[in-house]
Amino acid sequence: MIYKKLIVHYIIEPKQKNILNKYGRMRLNYLKEIQETADNGVEQIISELKFKINLTENMKNTDMLYWVSTMNSIKSQAEEIVFSELIYV
């Protein structure tokens, strides 16, 4: 059985560059501020919850599965808190 290679040529058309006007730039700056605030909030909440649960980096070496599952839970909780306080307002 002989297989023939099928070569498909795609033509990618250049995308139109959107130019933001004054209001678009203002909105973009606002979204950047929201993103920074959300990232900082998530990191702060994660560190507070790690301290509250007494989860240390040493536990990563001794019981990795427990550490990973707890960190995933903490991260989900922190993101949900930030979503409810900042994003879903």
pLDDT tens across 4-44, in order? 566 666 777 777 788 889 999 999 999 999 999 999 999 99
**Total count of domains within the chain:** 1
Any domain includes 2: no
Quick one: average pLDDT of 63-84? 95
Any domain includes 3: no
Q: How many CA atoms lie within 13 A of 70 on its CB side?
A: 17
Write down the pLDDT at residue 6: 61
Any domain includes 62: yes
Dihedral of the CA atoms 34, 73, 64, 53 (nearest 10)? Answer: 90
Any domain includes 73: yes
- What gap in Å lies between CA 25 and CA 68, rounded to an integer? 40
Any domain includes 12: no
Q: Which domain holds residue 42?
A: 22-87
Choose among 73, 14, 18: nearest CA to 46. 73
DSSP letter at 28?
A: H
